[in-house]
Amino acid sequence: MKKLYIAFIVFFTVLLLLPFTVQTVADLRGEKRFVSLDIFKDVVYTPFKRESKMAESAAKLNDAWFAARESIAGGAEVGESLEGVVSALSDLEAVALSMNSYAELDTAEADYKLLKLADTLVAALEDEPETFKTVDSTLKAVVAEFGHFSVWRALCGIKHYGVWTSRYLRAFENKVEDENALVLKFRPQYQLAVWKLFNEPGEKVVLGSDCDPEKNNCAKRPGRWLFYRQDVEFLVQPSPLDVRSAKLDNPVQAILKFRDQLKAKGVELLVVVVPGKPSIYPERLSRLPLDSGKVNSHGKMILDSLAALGLNTVDLYTPLMAAKKYDERFGPLYLDDDTHWTPRGAELAAAVIAGSVLQLSAAGVIDLGSEALRYVPVDSSADRMGDIGEMSGLNKFDVFKVQQVTGHVVYQQAMDERILASRLLHVHDSVALEIDTAKTPFKDDFRKSKILILGDSFSRIYQTDAPVNAGWIAHFARNISRPVSSIVSDGGASTLVREKLARKAGVLKGKKLLIWEFVERDLRFGAEGWKTIEF
């Protein structure tokens, strides 16, 4: 009997150590960093290496600021003189904000606030020379704080951001799950087997139908739609404002706080909640007839409550729900096996948001300025490999096909069309070709724009990936004929994108409106919750 116990213990010990052993061998044989030892490295090495790098970066910042002061005193341009300071400060921030391989410095920390203040003051110095003394004292404080090796600070970092904290272990677990050699080897075959046996697309995916039961076209269109499980769970779980969700951060309070912070800087806030795919197409989740013309979403109810509290909001639920009546003619508003909208949905959203902004301008709430730009759309196509299909792990087996989408890439037209049409090149005195050199791709303009957009992957899709400059941001600029700027964080529009803004708060200078776009599921599942971020 004892031998049997020993055999069981040995067997389960081997099972427990197998993933670690396989990963260790894979790391030693490959070129990837040694992920298996990150936990040990982040206890005995990384925090102290960070201290050394911070001291080096602070010394470079001190030298750059000394050179800048001498240059400015000699009559040089402030902007050119500060280039070295901006670069050195950015390098210091990159080191100081990363506590170890997996944890970032909390925005509530005094060190974070000091770096953010220095960043903001340096960015504004060119236009506010009277703040020179404040900038000087702040940068000296930064150098004094980070310019020396501190064992105590390293130990505190290990205590509050180390392997015994949930923030570290959660990130480490996700990394191991994504990169473990044993998982990467066998998970795809396992997922394919489960799909073939049970028609189950994976734990993150809900299988829908590419048909509308109200129109009785399910037999004619037997294809599949995929839904992201969190999108579905957001609809069926209690509202984030429900008493049963008391442990969650309150998104309304965070949004109101952000509105007040922006108002103090002279910037208006416009909140855009993007409906999830199942909110607009609930009938594709069930073969049972549903009231597909009615919005029944926590996101819409929270949006209405924000509007009742006096916030500027954009309702995308109503126009998207109305527009899907024309899907048979123009195609659906959301992609087949992706969480995001099609180019049609993105362009419709851009038009609705632009209409709200123009109304705010007409009412005198914001000043868009008088400098209008001309943007023109050009047809373009791209292939999309759906993100939900990739989550299932089945795309590599061609279970779900690549979907081709057609949108409109936006270009800035710098010249009147009549002048442009007259620009001709004569070839062999017989062929006339129009040269369109005045058309340039759309791009963010942080200097001239009065509008800053904060967004998530719904702001990124088609904008920075194929077909590029065809997302809602570019079409929004086209609809209002004004330059815009944007900061985008995939999956992090609840908190992470505001943290990005806090790190470079100088971009708010000259802005009159901030458009905050996030998908409705983030009201409950937003990365890092709904923290209050100080600006």
Q: In this predicted structure, which of 142-146, 160-164, 220-224 has the lowest mean pLDDT?
A: 220-224
pLDDT of res. 472 = 97
Q: Which of 6-20, 149-163, 183-197 has the highest mean pLDDT?
A: 149-163
Does pLDDT of 431 surpass 50?
no
The C-alpha atoms of residue 130 and residue 334 are separated, in whole angstroms, by 51
Q: How far is CA 399 from CA 65, 189, 342, 386, in A?
A: 58, 13, 21, 12
Segment 101-113 shows an average pLDDT of 89
Question: pLDDT > 90: what percent of the chain?
Answer: 49
DSSP state letter for 44 = H
pLDDT of res. 417 = 46
pLDDT of res. 528 = 80
String of DSSP letters for 221-274: -----EEEHHHHHHHHSPPTTSGGGTTS--HHHHHHHHHHHHHHTT-EEEEEEE
pTM beyond 0.85, yes or no: no
**Tokens found for residue 210:** 């590419």
Q: b or e along 227-236 (b: 16 or more beta carbons within 10 Å of the residue's beta carbon)?
A: bbbbbbebbe
Q: What is the pLDDT of residues 479-529, one digit of tens each?
A: 999 999 999 998 888 998 998 888 777 788 889 999 999 999 999 998 888
222: confidence class by pLDDT, cuts 50, 70, 90: very low
Average pLDDT of the chain to the nearest whole number: 85
φ, ψ of residue 475 to 5 degrees: the values are -70, -30
Q: Which of 62-71, 206-215, 382-391 has the highest mean pLDDT?
A: 62-71
31: confidence class by pLDDT, cuts 50, 70, 90: low
Tracing tokens 């600006």 back to the chain, one arrives at 535
Contact (CB, 8 A) for 475 and 510: no
What residues contact residue 361 under an 8 Å CB cut-off, 6+ apart?
367, 368
Q: What is the pLDDT of residues 255-313, one digit of tens each?
A: 999 999 999 999 999 999 999 999 999 988 865 555 555 677 899 999 999 999 999 99
pLDDT of res. 450 = 94
pLDDT of res. 421 = 45
242: confidence class by pLDDT, cuts 50, 70, 90: confident
Does pLDDT of 126 surpass 50?
yes
The C-alpha atoms of residue 270 and residue 515 are separated, in whole angstroms, by 5
What residues contact residue 362 under an 8 Å CB cut-off, 6+ apart?
none
What residues contact residue 491 under an 8 Å CB cut-off, 6+ apart?
456, 457, 527
344: confidence class by pLDDT, cuts 50, 70, 90: very high
Contact (CB, 8 A) for 345 and 276: no
Segment 209-220 shows an average pLDDT of 57
pLDDT of res. 422 = 43
36: confidence class by pLDDT, cuts 50, 70, 90: low
- State in Å, rounded, how far the first CA of the chain is from the last one: 66
Q: What is the pLDDT of residues 352-381, one digit of tens each?
A: 999 999 999 999 999 887 778 899 999 999
Does pLDDT of 346 surpass 80?
yes
Segment 204-210 shows an average pLDDT of 85
Segment 11-19 shows an average pLDDT of 67
Does pLDDT of 347 surpass 70?
yes
